[in-house]
Structure 1
Amino acid sequence: MRRLKQAVMVLMAMVMVLGSTSASAAVFTPETSSTAALLVDLNTGRIVAEKNGDERLPLGSVSKLVVAYFIEEAVAEGKLSWDQKIKIKPKLAEYSHDMSVATVPLYVDGEYTLEDLMNATLLPSSNSASLVLADLIAGDQEKFNEMANEKLASWGIPDANWSSASGLPVGALGPFQTDTYHEDDMNRLSAREVAIIAGRIMQDYPHMLTFNGKITEQFPDGKGGYVKLENTNELLKDKEFKVLGMKTGTILEYGKNLVAKTSIHGVPVLSVVLNARPADSETEVFTTSKNMWHQASAQLKAETLDRGTTVSDVKDNQAAAGQASVSLAKKQSFLLGVQEDMPKFDDVKLTSEVPYKAGETIGSAKWQFSTKSDNYLPGVGTVKVMTDEDVEPANWFVRTWRSIFG
Structure 2
Amino acid sequence: MQMKQSAIYRPVLLAMSLLIHHSSVANTNTEHIHSKPTPIETTQALPNLNVTGYSLVNLSSNTLLAQYNADEKMPPASLTKLMTLFIVYDYLDKGLIRSDEPVYISRKAWRSEGSRMFVEPDSEVNVGQLIRGVSIVSGNDASVALAEHISGTEEKFVELMNQKAKALGLNNTHFANSTGLPHKDHFSSPQDMNMIGTELIKQHPQVLTHTKEKTMTYNKITQDNRNKLLWKDASIFGLKTGHTKEAGYCLVAAAERDNQIMIATLFGARSEQQRDAVMTKLFNHAQHRFKNITIKQDNKIPELRVWYGDQSYLQPKLKAPIQLSIPNNQQGMIRTRYQTISTIKAPIKADQVIGEYTVYINDVATIKTPLVAGKSVSKQPLWLQPFEWITFQANQIMKILS
Same fold (TM over 0.5): yes
Partner of 1:235: 229
Report deviation, 1:71: 0.7
Q: 1:256-282: CA deviations, max 9, x gaps?
A: 111111134332111111112x2xx22
Residue correspondence of structure 1 range 3-402 to structure 2 within 5 A: 26-27=41-42, 28-31=44-47, 32-93=49-110, 95-96=111-112, 98=113, 101-158=114-171, 160-170=173-183, 185-219=184-218, 221=219, 226-239=220-233, 241-276=234-269, 278=270, 281-310=271-300, 326-328=316-318, 334-341=324-331, 343=334, 355-357=348-350, 360=351, 368-371=359-362, 387-392=373-378
Report deviation, 1:297: 3.1
Task: Decide whether aligned partners of structure 1 residues 191 and 107 sit closer, same or farther in structure 2, where only a CA change above 3 A counts.
Answer: same
Report deviation, 1:25: 5.7
Query: What SS does the corresponding residue of 2:96 show, helix, strand or coil?
Result: coil
Report deviation, 1:80: 0.8
Amino acid across the alignment from 2:99: W
Tell whether the 8 Å contact from 1:26 to 1:47 is kept in structure 2 after alignment.
no
Partner of 2:32: none
Gaps of at least 5 residues in structure 2 are: 1-37, 383-388, 390-402
Report deviation, 1:347: 8.7
Cα distance in 1 for partners of 2:182, 2:50 equals 23
Amino acid across the alignment from 1:297: Q
Query: What SS does the corresponding residue of 1:340 show, helix, strand or coil?
Result: helix
Tell whether the 8 Å contact from 2:249 to 2:275 is kept in structure 1 after alignment.
yes
Report deviation, 1:243: 0.4
Tell whether the 8 Å contact from 1:341 to 1:369 is kept in structure 2 after alignment.
no
Tell whether the 8 Å contact from 2:54 to 2:69 is kept in structure 1 after alignment.
yes
Tell whether the 8 Å contact from 2:100 to 2:126 is kept in structure 1 after alignment.
yes
Cα distance in 1 for partners of 2:340, 2:117 equals 51
Cα distance in 2 for partners of 1:364, 1:49 equals 33
Q: 1:172-226: CA deviations, max 9, x gaps?
A: xxxxxxxxxxxxx15322211112111211221111111212111332x1xxxx3
Cα distance in 2 for partners of 1:318, 1:189 equals 58
Report deviation, 1:382: 6.5
Report deviation, 1:84: 1.1
Partner of 1:4: none
Report deviation, 1:340: 2.0
Instruction: Give the TM-score taking structure 1 as reference length.
Output: 0.72
Cα distance in 2 for partners of 1:267, 1:38 equals 17
Tell whether the 8 Å contact from 2:106 to 2:122 is kept in structure 1 after alignment.
no
Gaps of at least 5 residues in structure 1 are: 1-22, 171-184, 376-380, 399-406
Q: 1:48-77: CA deviations, max 9, x gaps?
A: 112221112111000000110111111111
Report deviation, 1:322: 12
Question: Which moved further from structure 2: 137-146 or 300-309?
Answer: 300-309
Tell whether the 8 Å contact from 2:348 to 2:373 is kept in structure 1 after alignment.
no
Report deviation, 1:89: 1.4
Cα distance in 1 for partners of 2:238, 2:215 equals 12
Task: Decide whether aligned partners of structure 1 residues 333 and 154 sit closer, same or farther in structure 2, where only a CA change above 3 A counts.
Answer: closer
Question: Which moved further from structure 2: 262-271 or 382-391?
Answer: 382-391
Cα distance in 1 for partners of 2:209, 2:340 equals 35
Tell whether the 8 Å contact from 2:193 to 2:265 is kept in structure 1 after alignment.
yes
Cα distance in 1 for partners of 2:357, 2:216 equals 42
Counting aligned pairs with the same residue, the percent is 19
Report deviation, 1:344: 5.2
Query: What SS does the corresponding residue of 2:141 show, helix, strand or coil?
Result: helix
Task: Decide whether aligned partners of structure 1 residues 388 and 341 sit closer, same or farther in structure 2, where only a CA change above 3 A counts.
Answer: farther
Task: Decide whether aligned partners of structure 1 residues 315 and 60 sit closer, same or farther in structure 2, where only a CA change above 3 A counts.
Answer: farther
RMSD of aligned Cα (Å): 3.7
Q: 1:249-307: CA deviations, max 9, x gaps?
A: 1122342111111134332111111112x2xx221111011112223333212333344
Partner of 2:8: none
Query: What SS does the corresponding residue of 1:244 show, helix, strand or coil?
Result: strand
Cα distance in 1 for partners of 2:182, 2:308 equals 58
Tell whether the 8 Å contact from 1:84 to 1:113 is kept in structure 2 after alignment.
yes
Report deviation, 1:122: 1.3
Cα distance in 2 for partners of 1:59, 1:88 equals 25
Report deviation, 1:321: 10
Partner of 2:30: none
Cα distance in 2 for partners of 1:163, 1:364 equals 47
Tell whether the 8 Å contact from 1:44 to 1:382 is kept in structure 2 after alignment.
no
